[in-house]
A and B are shown apart, each in its own frame.
Chain A
Amino acid sequence: MTTVTPANGSPVRVALLRDGAIVADDWLPPAEQSPNDGEARILTLTQWQGAACPGDAAVQLEAGDDLEPLLAALAGLPLVAVHFASFTDGRGFSLARRLREAGFIGELRARGQLLPDQAQYLQRCGFNALEFTDPERLAQAQERLSVFSNGYQGAADQPLPLFRRRA
């Protein structure tokens, strides 16, 4: 496990940017084996469906996954993760917006191969948690959450397009 030292000085385990702050991760990443009892581990969609879709689980979607099976359970899920196999695969951005538009209010996390330069777009599409395994990139992502002071479009973070906000 990597450690990082955020601005407040105390080192934390593993790299996670949540709601703009670098914090310790309280979830384990998906594994091939189903989790042990009491273990806070993110499930793959297949594992989640295999376990009869528990309403309080954390579930990871792959870019091409269909949202439909998840929609009925969204209200109770504490965490949905979207896995990016490649940073150039933009499907996860649309998945995130669909999830937020469907009313999901839990933690929406982007994992996988991401660039710090994508942090703000990810956030605008509704991700509030970003995983970067490299601590330097994690810090870079944090710095790049507000590169642009405004966006033209409405999105998950600001539903009103600029044309409804121009002073």
Chain B
Amino acid sequence: MYRYDDYDQRLVDERVDQFRDQTARYLRGDLLEAEFLPLRLQNGLYVQRLAPMLRIAVPYGLLEARQLRKLAYITRHYDKGYAHISTRQNVQINWPRVEDVPDILEDLASVQMHAIQTSGNCIRNTTTDPLAGVAADELEDPRPWCELIRQWSTLHPEFAFLPRKFKIAVCGSAEDRAAIHSHDIGLEIVPGPAGENGFRVLAGGGLGRTPVIGSEIRPFLERRHLLSYLEAILRVYNQHGRRDNKYKARIKILVKAMGVEAFTAAVESEWERLRDGPTTLPEEEIERIAGFFRGPAYAALDPAAEAAVLEAHCASEPIFANWVQRNSHDHQEPGYRAVTVSLKATGNPPGDVSDAQLDCLADLCEAYSFGQLRTTHQQNIVLADVRESDLLALWRGLQAVGLACPNAGYLTDIICCPGGDFCSLANAKSIPVAEAIQARFEDLDYLYDLGPLELNISGCMNACGHHHIGHIGILGVDKKGEEFFQVSLGGSQSKEASLGQILGPSFRREDMPDVIETLLRVYLDHRLEDESFLEALRRIGMQPFKDRVYDNGNAR
């Protein structure tokens, strides 16, 4: 992974000093509430319903053991002993005191971490595939590009006061596991005409109140031009994005208003002025950054021997065998697998992880995965480099702290925002809905029979729970002060990205497990052999689902 040099370290240290100064001036009354607001947001500090919330940056989701231990310490020392993994692969703590935040940032800086630009109207954490660097279907590891974008976007003097937040994602594999179509800028690594990989550039995607699938503005960008091209897009957006209405301020609205062609022309014309300037990436810099992400020192394994050990372990422990089947993934390196640690056990708020679990994950990744792990935008953890013969020992270690839930990619692996229990924007509590659904579908055989299913829940139309791109999406809405839940079907975050369509009138919270069960019965009744929920839905359409659900009289 990337290691700070003196420049990087000084920068985060100086950021701590800066925020300590800003916090002190705010607490003294020298900075007004409205003035402190964007400054604290750009350090990840929200003021929430019950307490402040601090969002800590995890660049493209990569963490090492000492950072996990520091996070565990921070949750214990300054908070309530747990953290939450967000859908931007970041880590949130929900109960810090404003006056403690400079100290927390100082602790983070001691392990090369920070909270820079995790909120506010600026360029946020760049996200990517949690299987980056190990996925069998990968064309190129996207993480060096994420790091180059991280450095370019960090404390960028021109783009700290954009019309609205700005999110970039990079995908380097056949399957898109980074949801690039729903980002302000989506970058897909593609092979170029001259053999060298470059980027397909999408712009104007986004979720929120007006969900939009990103539009291609350039089929191929040579890699050395990446940063100057991003700079051109951001400059067009900074100058022309709407600032009069925060709900129309994202780049997706600008792209729609100008039209893709005119927007593209504006970007290209800005880029003409910037291209081949000093921001052009030299080959040595691309190589230098890529060097940080070369695979760990894999053992030269006998794949047959590894497989034999794993097979024997599976035969002796059927529960383990099931977990391996559900929660592990093919690897580029013979004899290794990547493992999803599900943070979606029933009764656990999706994405929450305790201090003890963080410490344990630190130990386990040191023992079995070269001391590193990844957070995922599905709010889980991935240990990316585990020997097949080590899987059993890892599983036992995870089981001991309640982290061996074998539901990765299934219905109960729910993406869910913190919702009305924590967030002051939310219309509704999302976590209790997730828990009720998890409780209803605890039967694993039934769960597996349903096949891969993505169920995403947002507590309001800001869509932090990505409900638009869930196969089943649930959105909390407020109707005259009462919580209701709207259901949409058919969203997808894959390369064939689609936005879910609203099923019909919304439901009461207590009816949600029944509604989901009814929808799944329709699927099971209609599915052809091996047809997934999404495939069946695309074939039969919404009507059979509507008919069954609303005939039951659940709607209000």
Contact = CB atoms under 8 A, between A and B. Distances in A.
A113 to B, nearest CB: 10
A87 B35 contact: yes
A160 interface: yes
Task: Count chain B CB atoms within 10 A of each CB in A95, A120, A122, A154 and give the residue with the most.
Answer: A154
Contact of A162 (B7, B39, B273): B7
B22 interface: yes
A103 B414 CA distance: 54
B18 interface: yes
Nearest to A154: B278
B158 A93 contact: yes
B38 interface: yes
A97 B158 CA distance: 8
A56 interface: no
A161 interface: yes
B436 interface: no
Contacts of B39: 115, 117
A2 interface: no
Contacts of A57: none
A88 B161 contact: yes
A49 interface: no
Interface in A88-132: 88-91, 93-95, 97, 101, 115, 117, 120-122, 124-125
B14 A149 contact: yes
B222 interface: no
Interface in A19-47: none
A90 B159 contact: yes
Contacts of A121: 157-158, 160
A125 B158 contact: yes
A124 B157 contact: yes
A164 B7 CA distance: 13
Contacts of A125: 157-158
Contacts of B238: 90-91, 93-94
Nearest to B156: A153
Contacts of B10: 149-150
Contact of B235 (A89, A94, A155, A164): A94
Contacts of B154: 152
B226 to A, nearest CB: 12
B538 interface: no
Interface stretch (B131-139, B279-287, B352-360): B279-287
B157 A120 contact: yes
A85 to B, nearest CB: 10
Interface in B84-105: none
A149 B285 CA distance: 21
Nearest to A95: B239
Nearest to A123: B157
Contacts of B196: none
A153 B279 contact: yes
Main secondary structure of the interface of A (DSSP, over half): loop
Given A94-B238, A125-B158, A152 B152 contact: yes
Given A93-B161, A162-B151, A147 B14 contact: yes
Contacts of B15: 148
B104 to A, nearest CB: 19
Chain B, interface size category, equals 35 or more
Contact of A148 (B11, B35, B152): B11
A159 B278 contact: yes
Nearest to B285: A163
B7 A161 contact: no
Contacts of B282: 163-164
A163 B144 CA distance: 14
Contacts of A151: 155, 157
A120 B155 CA distance: 11
Interface in B268-283: 273, 277-279, 281-282
Contacts of A89: 161, 243
Contacts of B235: 94, 97
A160 B278 CA distance: 6
A122 B279 CA distance: 19
B37 to A, nearest CB: 9
A151 B14 CA distance: 11
Nearest to B154: A152
A150 to B, nearest CB: 6
Task: Count chain A CB atoms within 10 A of each CB in B11, B121, B154, B239 and give the residue with the most.
Answer: B239
Contacts of B22: 117
A120 B159 CA distance: 13
B5 interface: yes
B162 interface: yes
B31 to A, nearest CB: 8
A153 B38 contact: no
B161 A147 contact: no
Given A87-B35, A151-B155, A162-B151, 18 more contacts: A90-B121, A90-B162, A91-B239, A93-B159, A93-B160, A94-B238, A117-B18, A121-B160, A124-B157, A125-B157, A147-B18, A148-B18, A149-B10, A152-B155, A159-B278, A160-B278, A163-B285, A164-B278
Interface of A: 87-91, 93-95, 97, 101, 115, 117, 120-122, 124-125, 147-155, 159-164, 166
Instruction: List the 3 shortest-distance A-B pairs measured between CB atoms, nearest first.
Output: A90-B161, A124-B157, A121-B157
Interface of B: 5, 7, 10-11, 14-15, 17-18, 22, 31, 35, 38-39, 121, 151-152, 154-162, 227, 235, 238-239, 243, 273, 277-279, 281-282, 285, 288
14 contacts: A91-B239, A93-B157, A94-B235, A94-B238, A117-B39, A125-B157, A147-B18, A150-B11, A152-B11, A153-B152, A154-B277, A155-B157, A161-B278, A166-B5
